[in-house]
Chains A and B, each alone.
Chain A
Amino acid sequence: MSLEEEIRELVLGLEGVSIVYAADPLWLTVLKQVGAALSPGDDPAQLPFVVCQMEDGDGRATMRVQIRIGSKGDVPAPALARSVAAAIRRFIAAARPGLEVVAAVEIAAIGV
């Protein structure tokens, strides 16, 4: 499993998270353009969900992790965003020690 997929799995298991959305909101258009027919049974892992990009942050190696989620509604959205970011940060500290992390967490749906 790639780092992105691991992060996705991790976040899906967190309290209050209902869903991890595809990274690119226009994926539907893109898929149509390439003529791919998506059926409900298709493996969703083919689409990018978590985006990890290396950035140059003041000389230190920094990884920017981008993720879009939906909240279940039992954990208030502001607190949920913070706890997801913290979980991502902890995970990367263990998986890639020494890396600075910028966690970009967007809540795209509340109470779904």
Chain B
Amino acid sequence: MTRSNPPAHRLADAPDALLAERAGDGDVAAFETLARRHGPLMRAYSRRLMSSVAEADDVVQESLITAWKEIGNLRDGAAVKAWLMRIVGHRAVDAGRRRKSHGTITDQPEPIDKAPGPEQSAVTGSARQALSRALAGLPEEQRRCWILKEYGGQSYEEIAQTLGISAASVRGRLARARTTLVTELEEWR
């Protein structure tokens, strides 16, 4: 009776589609490989969408649990990365809504010193830091549209669906966000 599992490095090199098929059949090692491969991006995305690192990590954890349950239904295994990102986007927006309905957050621009993302760059005044600060200063709805577009790579229609607004509203919020960010980056320069 053969009981071998492929060594971890074999799975580490396997394409997304194969891993998704195996995970869909119940192979935890394959799912783990996917989680490690795409996890950092999911986490970075979640952190920019949420207000705190702890909330962001919760969203990623819930997203991975959802992914595990649903991955057997995924038809196009090659698109698993985009699928994972969509799950994170939806969960982050839902988590944000739940917070609001509990009255802990009002729909106002978040204070600039409450940056949603980690300020990792050691070089002060870098373009990335300037952008990170500018992002933190955007009204939440504009920031989310922008992150869903630039980090999540979603289309206007997909963003509209995720946020429950019209594509025209998405277009407007994106344009306003971009106007502000471009201006602030130019000022920084």
Contact = CB atoms under 8 A, between A and B. Distances in A.
Are A and B direct contacts in the complex by CB distance below 8 Å? yes
Interface of A: 28-29, 32, 73-74, 111-112
B65 A32 contact: yes
A74 B1 contact: yes
A75 B65 CA distance: 33
Interface in B47-99: 62, 65
By secondary structure, the B interface counts as loop
B9 interface: no
Contacts of A29: 65
A111 B62 CA distance: 30
A24 to B, nearest CB: 15
B36 interface: no
B65 A28 contact: yes
Contact of B1 (A28, A32, A111): A111
B2 to A, nearest CB: 8
B154 to A, nearest CB: 27
A111 B65 contact: no
Contacts of A111: 1-3
Contacts of A32: 62, 65
Nearest to A71: B1
A112 B1 CA distance: 11
Most buried by A among B1, B2, B62: B1
A73 B65 contact: no
Given A32-B62, A111-B1, A112-B3, 8 more contacts: A28-B65, A29-B65, A32-B65, A73-B1, A73-B3, A74-B1, A111-B2, A111-B3
A29 to B, nearest CB: 8
Contacts of B1: 73-74, 111
